[in-house]
Structure 1
Amino acid sequence: MNRKNLVLHARNSIERGSKSFARASKLFSKQTRERAWLLYHWCRACDDLADGQDHGHGMSTVAHPGKTIAAMRMMTARAHGGEQTGNPPFDAFGVVAQECHIPKYLADDMIDGFALDARDWRPETEEDLYQYCYHVAGTVGCMMALVMGVSSRDQEILDRACDLGLAFQLANIARDVAEDAQAGRCYLPQKWLAESGVDPDHLLQPENRDALVLLVNRICDLAGDYEASARVGAASLPFRSRWAVLAATGIYGDIARAIRKSGGASLERRIYTSKGKKLGSILKALGQALFSAPQRDRQGLWTRARTTRLA
């Protein structure tokens, strides 16, 4: 399949899988937009394979998760090496990896996150939580920075891009606590749950609700910390990329803020932001993109340099 057709496939994927990202991506220049779609297509396909989903919907049991992860690694390696796999999402990754010089270790690190899910892994500590978020989302932030023209030598900007991935994933975790629990998953650190007297295997029992609301709010607050850090990094991007990143940041940040404001409603229903709210975030981001973000150091935040092999 040629590049033009891969881009069309990728555009359809992002429009089905994430209306928020699809809207924000339209703010990029044409070249950056197409590359972002190609990268998204691969990320979405890997996530769907790992979770038995269709564009992020309808999680189901994967019959042979180990084999699925192995196949994912094999096709990604082939595509990264410039080989046609015949599988559009992986060929899309091959194109964008070649064009933007995406190092293979970032792809490997992302797949490591899906391998954790395949083993029914759960974070023991807050440190584990951050590392998981790095694997499944911080890596994507780093790859997107490269797509937007950031040099692989600019570690400071890549750290900020990783922070944005962490902010997005923390918001996802806060939003999906109930849905994950129903699928037998839990991304709230086991240490937090023990300190709150919550049995992780009976997370959604009525007696746990008040404690769970506090933990969800804690996750939302952490998402806000990483969002604020990421906004500093966005100032180094070209204008249109800066606008797009700030728009996506605002849209996802608003989800975390809505969850916190809901007083626990996210445990009963999925929290969304309206089309009008998303449009407002895009317009607000335009103003923010015209001015430099206030400087903020990363002191106290987790850093990808602390990544270790999770058991």
Structure 2
Amino acid sequence: MTISMDHFTPDLRGDALAVQDMAACREAIRTGSLSFHAASRLLPAKVRDPSLALYAFCRLADDAVDEGDDKVGAVLQLRDRLDLVYRGRPRDAAADRAFARVVETFEMPRALPEALLEGFAWDAVGRRYDTLSGVLDYSARVAAAVGAMMCVLMRVREADALARACDLGLAMQLTNIARDVGEDALAGRIYLPLDWLAEEGVDVAAFLAAPAPCDGVRRVTRRLLDHADRLYRRSEAGVPKLPLACRPAILAARHVYAGIGGRVRAAGYDSVTQRARTGRGAKLGWLALSVLRAGTMSVGPVPSVLHAGPATEVEFLVQAARGAARKGRSEALLSVLAQLEARDRGLA
């Protein structure tokens, strides 16, 4: 694939444009995702820049769907933007051009960003999740897919390493869900497993109408964080399979996000009246810890959990990253996009 430059302004072609695009991506991440920005500073430059381009594209797409008034239109636009990227003619925007360069340079399997697209589409249709497995299905798309793409950027396509990277993505998304219970409820969204809420006697409609940190919601939040902690621990077995220079950044992401979960725990699992935050000092401490741990993780026997199969919900991502995925969009993705197109035309 060769990226067409025909529609770019002549004085912005070539390396100068690439430099400007990367500067825009760095700024988007610096202001939009402090946790990722902090962890990314530990990556070697050859991985850091493409990872920032990847994350900027994903983050801006997420913001458009999550915060915009036209969620349906935002998802359909993202579908079209991905089509252009994979045709080698990205939209005339910094994040799109930078991501197109990543796709070309690293031969990024299309199924991975399209998994992210499917997760955003589920958001746009307001999908809720009856079970933890359903929450993990969603988390696989909006977070574990990014973990798989990060492995591709590190030139790592071994199944065991990919499975553990997806574990980390799942854990981080469960942490995000636990942190944002109140914020999501105010927006009419719920990502906690509905069967867990039912077991606790929580009336979802009443909770969304007047969000409050009742005991049942606290216990469900705790269960979700407990599962995230198990995934964080399992993910660590894959870190030694990554390039040595990349390990501190991945461990930093693990510690920073787990630290957010720790703040939720410290607040008595109340993420309704407050939103857990971590300070600069804590982040610096986790970054230092990650650097120290990265150098010792290859010492000793290989943990048996390294070879555990991928979680059922992320198996398709592992296959895609290894180049074994079926070509073309999945029937599930085509179905949800068709629903959105019908809504966009006022037919549903």
For the criterion TM > 0.5, the same-fold answer is yes
Match in the other structure for 1:33? 48
Whether the 8 Å CA contact 2:171–2:232 is kept in 1: the answer is yes
Match in the other structure for 2:134? 128
- Structure 2 unaligned segments of length 5 or more: list them: 1-11, 318-329, 337-348
Tell me the distance in 2 between the aligned counterparts of 1:163 and 1:70: 29
Structure 1 residue ranges (4+ consecutive) displaced by more than 6 angstroms after TM superposition = none
Tell me the distance in 1 between the aligned counterparts of 2:237 and 2:269: 31
1:192 paired residue among 190, 196, 200: 196
2:167 paired residue among 140, 163, 169: 163
Whether the 8 Å CA contact 1:50–1:118 is kept in 2: the answer is yes
Match in the other structure for 2:64? 49
Q: Which structure exhibits the higher relative contact order, with contacts defined as CA atoms closer than 8 Å and separated by 6 or more residues?
A: 2
Tell me the distance in 2 between the aligned counterparts of 1:128 and 1:299: 19
Tell me the distance in 1 between the aligned counterparts of 2:274 and 2:261: 14
1:233-262 deviations in Å (ceiling 9; x for gaps): 111111221011001110111111221222
Once the two structures are TM-superposed, the CA of residue 305 in structure 1 deviates from its matched residue by 2.2
Whether the 8 Å CA contact 1:198–1:208 is kept in 2: the answer is no
Match in the other structure for 2:315? 305
Match in the other structure for 2:117? 111
- For 2:172, the aligned partner's letter is F
The more displaced of 107-116 and 230-239 is 230-239
1:172 paired residue among 168, 173, 176: 176
Once the two structures are TM-superposed, the CA of residue 67 in structure 1 deviates from its matched residue by 2.6
Tell me the distance in 1 between the aligned counterparts of 2:33 and 2:261: 16
Match in the other structure for 1:212? 217
1:20 and 2:35 are equivalent in the alignment: yes
1:176-255 → structure 2 map (5 Å cutoff): 176-203=180-207, 205=210, 209-255=214-260
Tell me the distance in 1 between the aligned counterparts of 2:316 and 2:145: 14
Whether the 8 Å CA contact 2:147–2:166 is kept in 1: the answer is yes
2:79 paired residue among 73, 76, 96: 73
Once the two structures are TM-superposed, the CA of residue 7 in structure 1 deviates from its matched residue by 0.7
Tell me the distance in 2 between the aligned counterparts of 1:265 and 1:117: 24
2:270 paired residue among 265, 270, 293: 265
Tell me the distance in 1 between the aligned counterparts of 2:263 and 2:173: 15
- Structure 1 unaligned segments of length 5 or more: list them: 53-59
Tell me the distance in 1 between the aligned counterparts of 2:212 and 2:173: 27
Tell me the distance in 2 between the aligned counterparts of 1:170 and 1:38: 24
Whether the 8 Å CA contact 1:69–1:114 is kept in 2: the answer is yes
- For 2:65, the aligned partner's letter is A
Match in the other structure for 2:321? none
Percent identity of equivalent pairs: 33
- For 2:276, the aligned partner's letter is I
- For 1:218, the aligned partner's letter is R
Q: CA RMSD in A?
A: 2.0
Tell me the distance in 2 between the aligned counterparts of 1:33 and 1:206: 39
The more displaced of 223-232 and 207-216 is 207-216
1:115-163 deviations in Å (ceiling 9; x for gaps): 0010011011111100000010010000011112213xx1221111111
TM-score norm. by structure 1 comes to 0.91
